[in-house]
Chain A
Protein backbone atom coordinates (compact mmCIF):
# COMPACT_ATOMS: atom_id res chain seq x y z
CA UNK A 1 0.00 0.00 0.00
CA UNK A 2 1.37 3.40 -0.96
CA UNK A 3 1.54 6.35 1.36
CA UNK A 4 -1.29 8.13 -0.48
CA UNK A 5 -3.69 5.25 0.13
CA UNK A 6 -3.67 5.96 3.81
CA UNK A 7 -5.24 3.24 5.89
CA UNK A 8 -6.63 4.78 9.08
CA UNK A 9 -7.06 1.50 10.95
CA UNK A 10 -3.56 1.27 12.47
CA UNK A 11 -4.17 4.75 13.88
CA UNK A 12 -7.37 3.85 15.66
CA UNK A 13 -5.64 4.00 19.02
CA UNK A 14 -4.08 7.42 18.40
CA UNK A 15 -7.41 8.72 17.17
CA UNK A 16 -10.25 9.65 19.40
CA UNK A 17 -12.12 6.44 20.21
CA UNK A 18 -15.40 8.04 21.13
CA UNK A 19 -18.35 6.99 19.01
CA UNK A 20 -20.90 9.19 17.35
CA UNK A 21 -24.21 8.87 19.10
CA UNK A 22 -27.78 9.97 18.74
CA UNK A 23 -29.48 12.42 21.13
CA UNK A 24 -30.81 10.81 24.29
CA UNK A 25 -28.37 7.95 23.92
CA UNK A 26 -24.97 7.20 25.44
CA UNK A 27 -24.43 3.46 25.01
CA UNK A 28 -21.23 3.21 27.03
CA UNK A 29 -22.44 4.89 30.24
CA UNK A 30 -23.54 3.15 33.43
CA UNK A 31 -26.79 3.68 35.30
CA UNK A 32 -25.28 6.06 37.87
CA UNK A 33 -24.35 8.47 35.08
CA UNK A 34 -27.95 8.56 33.81
CA UNK A 35 -29.45 9.04 37.27
CA UNK A 36 -26.90 11.77 38.09
CA UNK A 37 -27.71 13.57 34.81
CA UNK A 38 -31.44 13.39 35.55
CA UNK A 39 -30.89 14.72 39.08
CA UNK A 40 -28.74 17.63 37.90
CA UNK A 41 -31.24 18.42 35.13
CA UNK A 42 -34.16 18.38 37.58
CA UNK A 43 -32.26 20.54 40.09
CA UNK A 44 -31.40 23.25 37.56
CA UNK A 45 -34.89 23.12 36.03
CA UNK A 46 -36.60 23.54 39.40
CA UNK A 47 -34.41 26.54 40.25
CA UNK A 48 -35.00 28.18 36.86
CA UNK A 49 -38.77 27.48 36.93
CA UNK A 50 -39.16 28.85 40.46
CA UNK A 51 -37.13 31.91 39.49
CA UNK A 52 -39.39 32.51 36.46
CA UNK A 53 -42.62 32.20 38.46
CA UNK A 54 -41.26 34.33 41.32
CA UNK A 55 -40.10 37.02 38.91
CA UNK A 56 -43.44 37.16 37.09
CA UNK A 57 -45.32 37.63 40.39
CA UNK A 58 -43.05 40.24 41.95
CA UNK A 59 -42.10 43.89 41.60
CA UNK A 60 -38.42 43.50 42.43
CA UNK A 61 -37.39 44.37 38.87
CA UNK A 62 -37.92 47.24 36.46
CA UNK A 63 -41.22 46.08 34.96
CA UNK A 64 -40.45 46.42 31.20
CA UNK A 65 -37.33 44.24 31.70
CA UNK A 66 -39.26 41.33 33.22
CA UNK A 67 -40.35 39.73 29.88
CA UNK A 68 -36.72 39.79 28.69
CA UNK A 69 -35.55 38.21 31.95
CA UNK A 70 -38.27 35.52 31.65
CA UNK A 71 -37.17 34.69 28.10
CA UNK A 72 -33.55 34.43 29.27
CA UNK A 73 -34.62 32.03 32.05
CA UNK A 74 -36.63 29.98 29.52
CA UNK A 75 -33.69 29.70 27.10
CA UNK A 76 -31.42 28.70 30.00
CA UNK A 77 -33.86 25.97 31.03
CA UNK A 78 -34.16 24.71 27.44
CA UNK A 79 -30.35 24.46 27.44
CA UNK A 80 -30.44 22.49 30.70
CA UNK A 81 -33.00 20.10 29.20
CA UNK A 82 -30.96 19.65 26.03
CA UNK A 83 -27.78 18.84 27.92
CA UNK A 84 -29.02 16.82 30.90
CA UNK A 85 -32.20 15.19 29.53
CA UNK A 86 -31.57 14.93 25.78
CA UNK A 87 -27.77 14.50 26.17
CA UNK A 88 -27.03 16.86 23.28
CA UNK A 89 -23.58 18.20 24.08
CA UNK A 90 -20.72 19.99 22.34
CA UNK A 91 -18.61 16.81 22.25
CA UNK A 92 -17.15 15.52 18.95
CA UNK A 93 -19.48 12.53 19.13
CA UNK A 94 -22.43 14.94 18.96
CA UNK A 95 -21.50 17.09 15.96
CA UNK A 96 -24.31 15.79 13.75
CA UNK A 97 -26.90 16.30 16.49
CA UNK A 98 -25.77 19.86 17.17
CA UNK A 99 -25.71 20.73 13.45
CA UNK A 100 -29.27 19.45 13.03
CA UNK A 101 -30.29 21.46 16.12
CA UNK A 102 -28.61 24.59 14.73
CA UNK A 103 -30.56 24.26 11.49
CA UNK A 104 -33.80 23.73 13.43
CA UNK A 105 -33.13 26.85 15.52
CA UNK A 106 -32.41 28.87 12.38
CA UNK A 107 -35.80 27.93 10.93
CA UNK A 108 -37.53 28.61 14.27
CA UNK A 109 -36.03 32.11 14.54
CA UNK A 110 -36.75 32.90 10.88
CA UNK A 111 -40.40 31.85 11.28
CA UNK A 112 -41.03 33.60 14.61
CA UNK A 113 -39.05 36.83 14.15
CA UNK A 114 -39.92 37.06 10.44
CA UNK A 115 -43.64 36.72 11.13
CA UNK A 116 -43.54 39.31 13.92
CA UNK A 117 -41.53 41.75 11.82
CA UNK A 118 -43.69 41.44 8.68
CA UNK A 119 -46.99 41.49 10.54
CA UNK A 120 -45.90 44.50 12.59
CA UNK A 121 -45.25 46.47 9.38
CA UNK A 122 -48.50 45.30 7.82
CA UNK A 123 -50.40 46.40 10.93
CA UNK A 124 -48.57 49.76 10.82
CA UNK A 125 -49.57 50.37 7.20
CA UNK A 126 -53.18 49.26 7.59
CA UNK A 127 -56.04 51.73 7.15
CA UNK A 128 -57.55 52.31 10.61
CA UNK A 129 -60.95 50.63 11.03
CA UNK A 130 -62.56 54.06 11.63
CA UNK A 131 -61.56 55.18 8.13
CA UNK A 132 -62.39 51.90 6.33
CA UNK A 133 -65.75 53.32 5.17
CA UNK A 134 -63.93 55.99 3.11
CA UNK A 135 -61.80 53.47 1.19
CA UNK A 136 -63.09 53.07 -2.37
CA UNK A 137 -63.12 49.39 -3.39
Chain B
Protein backbone atom coordinates (compact mmCIF):
# COMPACT_ATOMS: atom_id res chain seq x y z
CA UNK B 1 0.00 0.00 0.00
CA UNK B 2 1.08 3.57 -0.64
CA UNK B 3 0.50 6.25 1.94
CA UNK B 4 -1.64 8.75 0.03
CA UNK B 5 -0.76 11.56 2.43
CA UNK B 6 2.59 11.84 0.63
CA UNK B 7 2.67 14.21 -2.36
CA UNK B 8 4.36 11.63 -4.63
CA UNK B 9 1.69 9.06 -3.82
CA UNK B 10 -1.00 11.61 -4.55
CA UNK B 11 0.60 12.09 -7.95
CA UNK B 12 0.49 8.32 -8.59
CA UNK B 13 -3.17 8.27 -7.55
CA UNK B 14 -3.88 11.22 -9.83
CA UNK B 15 -2.26 9.46 -12.80
CA UNK B 16 -4.23 6.30 -12.14
CA UNK B 17 -7.32 8.48 -11.96
CA UNK B 18 -6.59 10.03 -15.35
CA UNK B 19 -5.53 6.76 -17.00
CA UNK B 20 -7.43 6.60 -20.31
CA UNK B 21 -7.94 2.86 -19.86
CA UNK B 22 -10.04 3.62 -16.83
CA UNK B 23 -12.73 5.44 -18.83
CA UNK B 24 -16.21 4.48 -17.75
CA UNK B 25 -17.25 3.80 -14.20
CA UNK B 26 -15.02 4.08 -11.21
CA UNK B 27 -15.44 1.75 -8.36
CA UNK B 28 -17.53 2.94 -5.46
CA UNK B 29 -15.36 1.94 -2.55
CA UNK B 30 -16.42 -1.67 -2.10
CA UNK B 31 -14.35 -3.21 -4.89
CA UNK B 32 -15.11 -3.43 -8.60
CA UNK B 33 -18.71 -2.87 -9.62
CA UNK B 34 -20.60 -4.25 -12.60
CA UNK B 35 -19.74 -2.33 -15.75
CA UNK B 36 -16.96 -0.36 -14.07
CA UNK B 37 -14.81 -0.20 -17.18
CA UNK B 38 -11.78 -1.38 -15.21
CA UNK B 39 -10.98 -4.07 -17.75
CA UNK B 40 -12.04 -6.50 -15.05
CA UNK B 41 -15.81 -6.27 -15.21
CA UNK B 42 -16.25 -5.14 -18.81
CA UNK B 43 -17.06 -1.80 -20.40
CA UNK B 44 -19.39 0.91 -19.11
CA UNK B 45 -23.07 0.10 -18.63
CA UNK B 46 -25.30 -0.19 -21.65
CA UNK B 47 -27.36 2.76 -20.39
CA UNK B 48 -24.30 5.02 -20.69
CA UNK B 49 -23.19 3.64 -24.05
CA UNK B 50 -26.67 3.93 -25.60
CA UNK B 51 -27.13 7.50 -24.35
CA UNK B 52 -23.67 8.57 -25.48
CA UNK B 53 -24.10 6.96 -28.91
CA UNK B 54 -27.41 8.76 -29.34
CA UNK B 55 -25.74 12.04 -28.32
CA UNK B 56 -23.24 11.54 -31.18
CA UNK B 57 -26.15 10.93 -33.57
CA UNK B 58 -27.90 14.08 -32.33
CA UNK B 59 -24.79 16.15 -32.94
CA UNK B 60 -24.63 14.81 -36.51
CA UNK B 61 -28.31 15.75 -36.90
CA UNK B 62 -27.47 19.26 -35.67
CA UNK B 63 -24.66 19.44 -38.24
CA UNK B 64 -27.28 18.63 -40.91
CA UNK B 65 -29.44 21.48 -39.60
CA UNK B 66 -26.36 23.72 -39.70
CA UNK B 67 -26.12 23.02 -43.46
CA UNK B 68 -29.74 24.14 -43.89
CA UNK B 69 -29.09 27.23 -41.73
CA UNK B 70 -26.06 28.01 -43.92
CA UNK B 71 -28.21 27.65 -47.06
CA UNK B 72 -30.79 30.00 -45.54
CA UNK B 73 -28.15 32.56 -44.59
CA UNK B 74 -26.66 32.46 -48.09
CA UNK B 75 -30.00 32.53 -49.94
CA UNK B 76 -31.88 35.02 -47.79
CA UNK B 77 -31.48 37.87 -50.30
CA UNK B 78 -32.00 35.67 -53.38
CA UNK B 79 -35.69 36.54 -53.57
CA UNK B 80 -35.86 36.83 -57.40
CA UNK B 81 -38.32 39.72 -57.04
CA UNK B 82 -40.61 37.57 -54.88
CA UNK B 83 -41.64 37.98 -51.24
CA UNK B 84 -39.00 38.74 -48.58
CA UNK B 85 -38.85 37.22 -45.11
CA UNK B 86 -40.62 40.09 -43.32
CA UNK B 87 -43.71 39.47 -45.52
CA UNK B 88 -43.83 35.84 -44.34
CA UNK B 89 -43.68 36.32 -40.59
CA UNK B 90 -46.86 36.18 -38.51
CA UNK B 91 -45.52 37.06 -35.08
CA UNK B 92 -48.42 35.67 -32.95
CA UNK B 93 -48.21 32.32 -34.72
CA UNK B 94 -44.45 32.08 -34.18
CA UNK B 95 -45.04 32.95 -30.51
CA UNK B 96 -47.60 30.19 -30.07
CA UNK B 97 -45.41 27.67 -31.90
CA UNK B 98 -42.49 28.57 -29.62
CA UNK B 99 -44.68 28.30 -26.52
CA UNK B 100 -46.00 24.88 -27.57
CA UNK B 101 -42.54 23.48 -28.25
CA UNK B 102 -40.98 24.94 -25.08
CA UNK B 103 -43.79 23.59 -22.89
CA UNK B 104 -43.54 20.20 -24.60
CA UNK B 105 -39.81 20.14 -23.79
CA UNK B 106 -40.71 20.84 -20.16
CA UNK B 107 -43.34 18.09 -19.95
CA UNK B 108 -40.90 15.74 -21.68
CA UNK B 109 -38.40 16.43 -18.88
CA UNK B 110 -41.16 15.74 -16.30
CA UNK B 111 -41.99 12.46 -18.04
CA UNK B 112 -38.40 11.36 -17.57
CA UNK B 113 -38.53 12.38 -13.89
CA UNK B 114 -41.57 10.08 -13.62
CA UNK B 115 -39.66 7.35 -15.49
CA UNK B 116 -36.85 7.61 -12.93
CA UNK B 117 -39.44 7.30 -10.17
CA UNK B 118 -40.83 4.26 -12.06
CA UNK B 119 -44.31 5.76 -12.23
CA UNK B 120 -45.97 4.35 -15.34
CA UNK B 121 -49.06 6.55 -14.97
CA UNK B 122 -47.21 9.88 -14.79
CA UNK B 123 -44.71 8.87 -17.47
CA UNK B 124 -47.63 8.20 -19.79
CA UNK B 125 -49.54 11.35 -18.78
CA UNK B 126 -46.56 13.64 -19.40
CA UNK B 127 -45.64 11.85 -22.62
CA UNK B 128 -49.22 12.31 -23.90
CA UNK B 129 -49.13 16.05 -23.01
CA UNK B 130 -45.76 16.29 -24.79
CA UNK B 131 -47.22 14.58 -27.84
CA UNK B 132 -50.30 16.83 -27.92
CA UNK B 133 -48.16 19.98 -27.68
CA UNK B 134 -45.95 18.61 -30.48
CA UNK B 135 -49.07 17.90 -32.54
CA UNK B 136 -50.29 21.47 -31.93
CA UNK B 137 -46.91 22.75 -33.13
CA UNK B 138 -46.98 20.65 -36.31
CA UNK B 139 -50.59 21.68 -37.09
CA UNK B 140 -49.75 25.40 -36.62
CA UNK B 141 -46.77 25.04 -38.91
CA UNK B 142 -48.82 23.12 -41.48
CA UNK B 143 -51.52 25.80 -41.53
CA UNK B 144 -48.77 28.43 -41.89
CA UNK B 145 -47.38 26.60 -44.94
CA UNK B 146 -50.87 26.16 -46.42
CA UNK B 147 -51.59 29.88 -45.86
CA UNK B 148 -48.31 30.82 -47.58
CA UNK B 149 -48.99 28.45 -50.49
CA UNK B 150 -52.44 29.99 -50.99
CA UNK B 151 -50.68 33.38 -51.42
CA UNK B 152 -48.45 31.85 -54.10
CA UNK B 153 -45.48 31.59 -51.73
CA UNK B 154 -44.07 28.15 -52.53
CA UNK B 155 -40.54 26.64 -52.41
CA UNK B 156 -40.12 26.90 -56.20
CA UNK B 157 -40.73 30.69 -56.22
CA UNK B 158 -37.15 31.73 -55.29
CA UNK B 159 -33.88 30.48 -53.84
CA UNK B 160 -34.76 32.20 -50.59
CA UNK B 161 -38.11 30.40 -50.34
CA UNK B 162 -36.47 27.02 -51.13
CA UNK B 163 -34.08 27.58 -48.24
CA UNK B 164 -36.88 28.79 -45.94
CA UNK B 165 -39.21 25.85 -46.60
CA UNK B 166 -36.25 23.45 -46.53
CA UNK B 167 -35.07 24.57 -43.09
CA UNK B 168 -38.43 25.04 -41.38
CA UNK B 169 -39.91 22.00 -43.14
CA UNK B 170 -36.99 19.79 -42.09
CA UNK B 171 -37.57 20.77 -38.47
CA UNK B 172 -41.32 20.13 -38.83
CA UNK B 173 -40.56 16.71 -40.32
CA UNK B 174 -38.32 15.93 -37.34
CA UNK B 175 -41.08 16.88 -34.89
CA UNK B 176 -43.55 14.71 -36.84
CA UNK B 177 -41.22 11.69 -36.77
CA UNK B 178 -40.53 12.30 -33.07
CA UNK B 179 -44.31 12.22 -32.57
CA UNK B 180 -44.44 8.77 -34.20
CA UNK B 181 -41.60 7.68 -31.92
CA UNK B 182 -43.49 9.08 -28.92
CA UNK B 183 -46.60 7.07 -29.81
CA UNK B 184 -44.42 3.96 -30.09
CA UNK B 185 -42.92 4.66 -26.66
CA UNK B 186 -46.39 5.08 -25.13
CA UNK B 187 -47.30 1.60 -26.39
CA UNK B 188 -43.98 0.06 -25.31
CA UNK B 189 -44.10 1.52 -21.79
CA UNK B 190 -47.69 0.30 -21.44
CA UNK B 191 -47.03 -3.23 -22.69
CA UNK B 192 -43.44 -3.90 -21.63
CA UNK B 193 -43.07 -1.65 -18.58
CA UNK B 194 -39.76 -0.16 -17.43
CA UNK B 195 -37.44 -2.86 -18.74
CA UNK B 196 -33.86 -1.59 -19.14
CA UNK B 197 -34.08 -1.33 -22.94
CA UNK B 198 -37.33 0.63 -22.69
CA UNK B 199 -35.73 3.10 -20.26
CA UNK B 200 -32.78 3.44 -22.68
CA UNK B 201 -35.22 4.30 -25.47
CA UNK B 202 -36.94 6.85 -23.23
CA UNK B 203 -33.55 8.48 -22.52
CA UNK B 204 -32.88 8.71 -26.26
CA UNK B 205 -36.38 10.01 -26.97
CA UNK B 206 -35.92 12.73 -24.34
CA UNK B 207 -32.60 13.78 -25.86
CA UNK B 208 -34.16 13.91 -29.32
CA UNK B 209 -37.13 15.99 -28.21
CA UNK B 210 -34.97 18.50 -26.30
CA UNK B 211 -32.60 18.75 -29.30
CA UNK B 212 -35.56 19.63 -31.55
CA UNK B 213 -36.44 22.47 -29.19
CA UNK B 214 -32.82 23.70 -29.32
CA UNK B 215 -32.98 23.74 -33.14
CA UNK B 216 -36.27 25.65 -32.93
CA UNK B 217 -34.57 28.35 -30.79
CA UNK B 218 -32.22 28.90 -33.75
CA UNK B 219 -35.11 28.94 -36.23
CA UNK B 220 -37.39 31.37 -34.39
CA UNK B 221 -34.46 33.70 -33.70
CA UNK B 222 -32.62 33.67 -37.03
CA UNK B 223 -35.46 32.95 -39.47
CA UNK B 224 -38.46 34.64 -37.89
CA UNK B 225 -37.39 37.36 -35.42
CA UNK B 226 -34.34 38.63 -37.31
CA UNK B 227 -36.18 38.04 -40.60
CA UNK B 228 -39.07 40.22 -39.44
CA UNK B 229 -36.92 43.23 -38.58
CA UNK B 230 -34.45 43.27 -41.50
Contact = CB atoms under 8 A, between A and B. Distances in A.
Interface of A: 3, 6, 8-25, 27, 29-31, 34-35, 37-38, 41-42, 45-46, 49, 52-53, 56-57, 63, 66-67, 70-71, 73-74, 77-78, 81-82, 85-86, 96-97, 100-101, 103-104, 107-108, 111-112, 114-116, 119
A8 B66 contact: no
B210 interface: yes
Nearest to A88: B55
Interface string B197-220: 000000100110011011001101
A25 B12 contact: no
B73 A116 contact: yes
Contacts, number: 186
B149 to A, nearest CB: 25
| Closest 6 pairs between A and B when the two form their complex, measured CB to CB | A22-B51, A34-B113, A104-B59, A115-B70, A38-B109, A74-B221
Contacts of A103: 59
B141 to A, nearest CB: 17
Contact of B218 (A18, A74, A101): A74
B169 interface: no
B55 A22 contact: yes
Contacts of B44: 20
Grouping DSSP codes into helix (H, G, I), strand (E, B) and loop, the B interface class, with mixed when no group exceeds half, is: helix
Nearest to A13: B29
Nearest to A112: B70
Contacts of B37: 20
Contacts of B70: 111-112, 114-116
B210 A77 contact: no
A108 B207 contact: no
Contacts of A107: 63, 66
Given A16-B17, A38-B113, A100 B206 contact: no
